[in-house]
């Protein structure tokens, strides 16, 4: 009966996808009009492509957005060193740009196929991956089922699951068991992540820690020097990975603090740069002097705010900022990861809604490496304290750096779990290179 219920639920899910398939081109066009899709690559969402599958072994890695893509960078670099082909799918325009900037032609990038049967079938029939590695919490029933039917191993890496998602799956135990037992392994960010995947049906689980702690922070040194030269000794703070409503909060905080700190400069880095035009319009209504980073102008003494409307340059601005507020934590729930600002020497503030990174933040809070602000008023108070009292700020920065570095090692732990899946592909790659006279 349990298996029957699971298969019925999956059948209904598949049927629902079939019913909406004729509407998907319209849906994708609407998203493209809002900047959510690349209009020239919409067909990839339906599993179609004009790129050829390379010869030799191929690992398919999937990351939903920018954060997940960054988490996979060290792992992808290691796989490429093994001469194994990498197909990387992402779900957003910004993450696609990041892949292009970071890897160029070293990996094949495609937009992730929608989880409808025709798209998944076309995608798998064309690419025929030898292994699928999915980052964090992307659970697509038809993708999982399709890979299992083709006997393609699939592993969740840097696996994470929010409490809300876990409880939602618990309400559908038959379907959850049917889907999750088809996943060959889940390598969790934390003990609780691993336990939740195991409880839902994944038989093999392990704990790696967060792959983002193994990312070597980078920044354009020339650009950093240019900004530092133009800023002189101004007090700088950043609101990073902001979502709708948080840019307005940052602007109000800037105006409130400017009377006390006349040389204050605020940097705003929205999570989705495609919102920059709307953000700019709102900021200018407040009579603030704003420059956009993409315009390649350096700030002067009259600049209030730098709006960072590009991707892949967060490292520059985190090194400029003495304090960073991490977004999606005041006006929305979930939060973002504190590891990058911690590793780049910025004191960390966050709103109370950090559910998506609870385990990480729990460690930061326990080590006095981050502080919570409940609203704009508390944000202004904490900023004033940290910007004007260096001993307190330096103590937080040091605690955050130590906390982040102590979390490193996830990459090696992940590779250890992946060895049984990757070792056969290494041998295939060697044989392929010998057969094609490329050497090794």
Contact 372, 365 (CB under 8 A): yes
List the catalytic residue out of 37, 68, 138, 340.
Answer: 68
Structure token digits, residue 246: 């948080």
Closest to 279 (Cα-Cα) out of 308, 318, 302 = 308
Cα–Cα distance for residue pair 205/187, rounded to 1 Å: 6
Backbone angles phi, psi at 130, to 5 degrees: -90, -20
Count of alpha carbons within 13 Å of 218, Cβ hemisphere only? 12
Contact 94, 67 (CB under 8 A): no
Backbone angles phi, psi at 183, to 5 degrees: -80, 125
Cα–Cα distance for residue pair 160/49, rounded to 1 Å: 30
Cα–Cα distance for residue pair 44/60, rounded to 1 Å: 15
Closest to 365 (Cα-Cα) out of 400, 337, 336, 392 = 400
Cα–Cα distance for residue pair 422/238, rounded to 1 Å: 41
Closest to 371 (Cα-Cα) out of 354, 355, 357, 351 = 351
**281 part of the active site:** no
Cα–Cα distance for residue pair 206/195, rounded to 1 Å: 9
Q: What contacts 34, CB < 8 A, 6 or more positions away?
A: 274
Length of the chain: 440
Residues tagged active-site: 68
């Amino acid at each position: 009966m349990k298996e029957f219920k699971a298969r019925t639920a999956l059948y209904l899910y598949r049927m629902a996808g079939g019913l909406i398939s004729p509407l998907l081109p319209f849906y994708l066009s609407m998203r493209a009009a809002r900047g959510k899709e690349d209009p020239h690559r919409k067909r990839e969402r339906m599993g179609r492509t004009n790129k050829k599958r390379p010869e030799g072994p191929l690992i398919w890695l999937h990351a939903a957005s920018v954060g997940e893509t960054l988490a996979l960078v060290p792992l992808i670099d290691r796989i490429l060193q093994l001469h194994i082909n990498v197909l990387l799918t992402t779900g957003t325009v910004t993450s696609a740009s990041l892949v292009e900037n970071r890897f160029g032609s070293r990996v094949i990038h495609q937009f992730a196929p929608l989880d409808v049967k025709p798209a998944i079938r076309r995608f798998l029939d064309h690419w025929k991956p030898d292994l699928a590695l999915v980052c964090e919490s992307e659970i697509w029933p038809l993708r999982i089922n399709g890979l299992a039917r083709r006997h393609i191993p699939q592993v969740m890496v840097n696996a994470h699951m929010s409490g809300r998602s876990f409880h939602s799956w618990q309400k559908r135990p038959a379907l959850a068991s049917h889907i999750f037992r088809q996943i060959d392994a889940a390598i969790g960010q934390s003990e609780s992540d691993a336990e939740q995947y195991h409880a839902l049906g994944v038989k093999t689980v392990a704990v790696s820690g967060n792959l983002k702690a193994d990312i070597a922070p980078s920044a354009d040194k020339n650009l950093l020097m240019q900004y530092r030269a133009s800023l002189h000794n101004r007090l700088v703070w950043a609101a990073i990975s902001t979502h709708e409503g948080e840019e307005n909060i940052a602007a109000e905080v800037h105006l409130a603090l400017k009377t006390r700190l006349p040389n204050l400069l605020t940097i705003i880095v929205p999570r989705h740069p495609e919102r920059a035009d709307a953000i700019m319009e709102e900021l200018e209504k407040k009579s603030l002097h704003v420059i956009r980073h993409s315009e390649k102008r350096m700030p002067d003494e009259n600049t209030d705010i730098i709006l960072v409307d590009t991707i892949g340059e967060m490292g520059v601005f985190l090194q400029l900022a003495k304090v960073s507020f991490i977004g999606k934590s005041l006006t929305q729930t979930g939060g973002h990861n504190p590891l990058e600002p911690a590793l780049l020497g910025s004191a960390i503030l966050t709103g109370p809604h950090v559910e998506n990174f609870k385990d990480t933040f729990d460690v930061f809070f326990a080590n006095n490496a981050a502080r919570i602000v409940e609203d704009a008023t508390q944000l202004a108070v904490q900023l004033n304290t940290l910007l004007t009292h260096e001993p307190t700020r330096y103590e937080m920065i040091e605690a955050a750096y130590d906390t982040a570095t102590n979390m490193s090692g996830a990459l090696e732990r992940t590779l250890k779990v992946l060895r049984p899946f990757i070792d056969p592909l290494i041998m295939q790659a060697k044989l392929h290179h010998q057969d094609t006279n490329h050497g090794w």
